[in-house]
Homo-oligomer: A and B are copies of this chain.
Amino acid sequence: MAPSPDSPSAPSLGIWFIGARGSLATTATIGLAALAARLTDETGCVTAHQEMDGRGLAAWTDIVVGGHDVGTTSLAKQAERLVAGGVVPGVLVQQVAADLDAVEQRLRPGVRAGESPDQRADVERLAADIRELASGVDRVVVVDVSSTEPPHDAGDDAASWAALQAAWDAGRAPLSPSSTYACAALLADASYVAFTPSPGIDVPALRELAEERGLPYAGSDGKTGETLVKSALAPMFATRALAVRSWTSINLLGGGDGSTLSDPAARSSKTGTKRSGLESMLGHPVPGPMHIDYVEDLGDWKTAWDHVRFDGFLGTRMTMQFTWEGCDSALAAPLVLDLARLTGRAVEAGKTGPLGALGFFFKAPIGSQEHRLATQWEELLAWSHDCAERVSERTSEQVSP
């Protein structure tokens, strides 16, 4: 059930993007403006699915966007690039130009690894930026859609909130940028969503802080392409008792994300989250290479080829292969909006800690071991209904005299 205008109006929502000038954030920003102005339909938006209980979700018109980025290219320029790449229609960008300009005013400079002498000061400055947006809306969800970081071990310095304070006192800077942002989010009382595989909130000190503040969080690494298909197909092999002998994947992508991932360190963060699910769904390790390659001319268009070798009854050898040709930003943008709406409502519904029921959206679900898409869907629907119930109860309590 999509949110309806006549339901008691839901609280307004602020989305704070880390990586706000990237392809994904820009597409989401354009798309949100288009949805609010009814210039596009809700294709790709899971929160608009007819089986979803949408009560209490922020309306498209009640969402404002701000964010951090280390880049300085204007949103308008990025939008142009997306038009040229066939990701968004040119005419749409013209129609929402004013909205983009408004968001542009709400973007703030980010932080880079190894750049600042004082990580506590960074965190405080970032938190202040987020609070600025928060002042105008009922609640804020911070969504990390910045470039994937290489794996980073924050070590003992981040083993607890106290340890982190001590490290900062001693002038050390144990957090990677993504964790710096996650920390700022929590300090600004915002819930947090990791759409990338970067460490983010996933360090003990920050999980402790979230717990203490009663804030929910979700992640990690959006499931939008080849891994999505895997999570639909692998259960087929498993429930039919077919024996998968090898599963090979190759992902070709250009764009900013592809360029980042052409760095082997960043790529290793990604193949890690991609691999984790397959073994869990099939119940045993499955050999087979898994490549992510940067092919510049593909831009935001990702092409993935998967080859599955499996045995059937009496040892008969069979194969299945698929090719996926998707536009990454177009697939991810509505999910990022969905996640913000769902997480925002979860706060309202009193949910705290890791939101495992949002695993449907992620390659490496925090708070859940479930990777099978259909099962994740059922869990999401049930949880969403529960949130809607709680929120509507509260609302009616408030409304009644």
Contacts and interface: CB of A to CB of B under 8 A. Distances in A.
Contact of A43 (B90, B313, B372): B313
A40 B243 CA distance: 13
B252 A307 contact: yes
Contacts of A331: 312-313, 318
A106 to B, nearest CB: 22
A128 interface: no
Contact of A297 (B92, B250, B287): B287
B334 A241 contact: yes
Interface in A174-231: 228-229
Contacts of A241: 42-46, 48-49, 334
Interface stretch (A62-70, A265-273, A320-328): A320-328
A270 B228 CA distance: 30
A293 B289 contact: yes
A12 interface: no
A385 interface: no
A148 interface: no
Interface residues of A, number: 75
Given A87-B316, A320-B322, 15 more contacts: A43-B313, A43-B314, A44-B240, A44-B241, A44-B313, A45-B241, A46-B239, A49-B241, A86-B316, A229-B236, A229-B320, A287-B296, A291-B291, A314-B330, A318-B327
Interface of A: 27, 30-31, 34, 40, 42-46, 48-50, 86-90, 92, 228-229, 232-233, 235-236, 239-243, 245-246, 248, 250, 252, 283, 287-289, 291, 293, 295-298, 303, 305, 307, 309, 311-316, 318-327, 330-331, 333-334, 360, 372-375, 377
26 contacts: A34-B314, A40-B315, A43-B241, A43-B315, A44-B240, A44-B241, A44-B312, A89-B314, A232-B235, A232-B236, A236-B373, A239-B360, A245-B297, A248-B252, A289-B295, A303-B319, A305-B305, A312-B330, A314-B333, A318-B326, A318-B330, A319-B325, A320-B325, A322-B323, A323-B323, A374-B375
